[in-house]
């Protein structure tokens, strides 16, 4: 896998890929699905499989034209031609220009998934992430946010979002497109070393494969094992919390650290309305909080105890200088 994976000899052919994805059960006859279609080999392979397994009437496609590079219009034209040939309804979204600074890829991902959720209509949303993407994701998370949840990689299903190609390599989607005669778009940014994921793809993965030929397979096997074991821990935490949104400090301190860490992370995520990465690593500080205390944590959440009961809330925004909060009648802000 990596830069040389497209040249690998031992890859499944298109029929074998179709059988593998069908056996996964995420794409099935009549099941409505919205395919995120960039026009690259992975999403084009996914769209073709969705049509074959679900039927063209059950499939729609969404293409986001960010207009960020010269080839954007050609990509859209290719996507339109593909959907027309397959009999799939296509919607193209052109988001307004990005105005805030920050990670370009994160912004593009946010725009894409927001548009998809707005248009899914109760059906599934299919993304073309492959086993190769899974490998790169796990390696990136290993160095950036190590935790059992992170190392488990991407899930096959996360709510309406499905990833039917997680058992298929990038080399296999390339072969599928060639064998099925599917035209694909090439994104030159995939070769640019400025993005961390590209450096993992073109530098780290080949190095690991050089050090051990089974490196990629071993990392993916570890991710599956971690995901399976983490699911067991999550079930135990659900049983202990029993629907509660708070937990006593004494009770929490008596739990095995692994369960306690998952519990505080889950409660923090719920308060944040999404992943509040890094909270579990502060377990020692959280357990040591006093009976009535507050502790600001990563991910925009705050741990608060009242009468030794621990709960989480969003970190309050400070939109004005502290001096402006003084009340003329002597009252104090809460």
* 227 domain residue, yes or no: no
We report the CATH number of the domain holding residue 101 as 3.40.50.620
Task: Give yes or no for residue 319 having a pLDDT over 70.
Answer: no
d(CA 48, CA 62): 14
Same domain (yes/no): 121, 266: no
Range of the domain at 309: 244-334
Same domain (yes/no): 76, 205: yes
Same domain (yes/no): 160, 52: yes
Task: Give yes or no for residue 26 having a pLDDT over 60.
Answer: yes
Same domain (yes/no): 193, 117: yes
Handedness of CA 143, 147, 152, 154 (dihedral sign): negative
Per residue in 104-151, pLDDT (tens digit) is: 778 888 899 999 999 999 999 999 999 999 999 999 988 887 778 888
Same domain (yes/no): 9, 54: yes
d(CA 256, CA 287): 12
pLDDT band at 4 (very low <50, low <70, confident <90, very high): very low
What 8-state DSSP symbol labels residue 204? Answer: I
* Inter-residue long-range contacts of 244-248, CB under 8 Å, 24+ positions, other chains counted: 245/270, 245/311, 246/309, 246/310, 246/311, 247/309, 247/310, 248/308, 248/309, 248/310
pTM of the model: 0.81
* Average pLDDT of the chain, as a whole number: 88
CB 95 within 8 A of CB 66: yes
We report the CATH number of the domain holding residue 250 as 3.30.465
The partner residues of 36 in beta bridges, in order of sequence, read 62
CB 125 within 8 A of CB 91: no
**Which of 176, 202, 219 is the endpoint of a domain?**
219
Per residue in 142-189, pLDDT (tens digit) is: 888 777 888 889 999 999 999 999 999 999 999 999 999 999 998 766
Q: Which of 110, 126, 50 is nearest to 83 (CA)?
A: 50
Same domain (yes/no): 265, 321: yes
* 235 domain residue, yes or no: no
Q: Is 162 helix (H, G, I), strand (E, B) or coil?
A: strand
Q: Which of 123, 59, 111 is nearest to 87 (CA)?
A: 59
Same domain (yes/no): 210, 249: no
* 175 domain residue, yes or no: yes
């Amino acid at each position: 896998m990596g830069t040389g994976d497209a040249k690998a000899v031992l890859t499944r052919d298109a029929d074998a890929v179709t059988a593998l994805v069908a056996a996964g059960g995420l794409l099935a006859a009549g099941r409505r699905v919205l395919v995120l279609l960039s026009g690259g080999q992975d999403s084009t392979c996914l769209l073709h499989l969705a049509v074959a397994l679900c039927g063209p009437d059950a499939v729609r496609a969404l293409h986001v034209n960010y207009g960020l590079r010269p080839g954007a219009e050609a990509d859209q034209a290719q996507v339109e031609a593909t959907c027309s040939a397959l009999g799939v309804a296509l919607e193209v979204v052109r988001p307004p220009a990005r105005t805030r600074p920050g990670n370009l890829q994160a912004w593009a991902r946010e725009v894409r998934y927001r548009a998809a959720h707005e248009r899914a209509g109760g059906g599934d949303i299919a993304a073309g992430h492959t086993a190769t993407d899974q490998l790169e994701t796990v390696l990136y998370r290993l160095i950036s946010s190590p935790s059992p949840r992170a190392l488990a990689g991407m899930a096959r299903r996360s709510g309406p979002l499905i990833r039917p190609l997680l058992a298929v390599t990038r080399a296999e989607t390339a072969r599928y497109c060639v064998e099925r005669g599917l035209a694909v778009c090439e994104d030159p940014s995939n070769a640019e070393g400025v993005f961390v994921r590209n450096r993992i793809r073109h530098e780290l993965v080949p190095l690991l494969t050089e050090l051990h030929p089974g490196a990629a397979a071993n990392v993916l096997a570890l991710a599956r094992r971690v995901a399976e074991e983490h699911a067991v821990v999550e079930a135990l935490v659900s049983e202990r919390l029993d629907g509660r949104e708070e937990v006593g400090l004494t009770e929490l301190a008596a739990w095995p650290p692994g369960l306690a860490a998952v519990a505080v992370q889950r409660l923090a995520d719920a308060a944040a309305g999404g992943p509040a990465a890094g909270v579990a690593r502060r377990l020692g500080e959280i357990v040591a909080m006093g009976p009535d205390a507050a502790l600001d944590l990563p991910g925009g959440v705050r741990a608060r105890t009242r009468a030794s009961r621990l709960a989480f809330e969003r970190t309050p925004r400070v939109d004005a200088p502290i001096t402006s909060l003084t009340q003329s009648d002597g009252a104090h802000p809460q």
